[in-house]
Structures are given as C-alpha cells and as structure tokens.
Amino acid sequence: MGREANTEPKYDLLALVTLDKSRILGGKQLTLLAKDEEEQKTMTADIAKALKADVVKMNSGDYLVIRV
C-alpha cells in the first residue's frame, strides 16, 4: 500500500487486538486479548482515540491500530 494509499509512507503499528490467544506472538506493538467481539471493538476504539491513530480490521477478525 505505502505510497499508493496515502501520501506519507510512514506507518507505525501501535497495537493488535485479537480474540485468538495463539496470535499473540510478541513484537514492538501492544497486543491485547479481548473476551468477545464487542470488547475487541471497544478496546480498539479506546486505543485509537488515545493514540490518535487509525484502525484496520483484518479479514482474520483482528484489529490493528496504526498511525500513518
């Protein structure tokens, strides 16, 4: 995506919010395990608001909080 989707090609992956414990593999970003989908959405929105970041919903159901 990079230069194609937005003009500033710097991306920071800030958080991953998942429902699947096996996908928590570590890394620089904050990774959180939610109980259910509702909690996952709320957690994602809270983090995104606090960090003034954007949210990507992945096809796997996980949410990424990224800053462009």
Partner 1 sequence: MDGMLSREHTILIVTSIIVGTLARIITIKEDFRQYPSYPNGYLIHLVTGFVAASLGAVAIPALMTKNFVAVTFLTLAIQQFRDVRKSERESLKDLENTEYAYRGDAYIDGIAKTFESRNYFSLIVALATGITYEIVDSSAWINTICSAVVGFIILYILKRFSKGKSIGDIAEVKEAKIEVKNHELYVDGLYVTNLLGTENASKLFLEEGRAVVIYPKKHHFRVTLENFGQRQAALFEATRTLGVKRYHFTRRDFENGRVVIALVPIINDKDKLIEAVKKTPLLESTKKSESVMNSNMVGRE
Give the binding site for partner 1 (CB under 8 A): 1, 3-8, 41, 44-45, 48, 54-57, 63-64, 66, 68
Strands (E), 1-68: 12-18, 30-33, 54-57, 63-67
Q: Is the Cβ of residue 23 or residue 57 nearer to partner 1 in the bound state?
A: 57
27: helix, strand or coil: coil
- Least Cβ distance, residue 66 to partner 1 (angstroms): 8
Shortest spacing between CB 14 and partner 1, in angstroms: 13
- Alpha-carbon span 50 to 31, nearest angstrom: 16
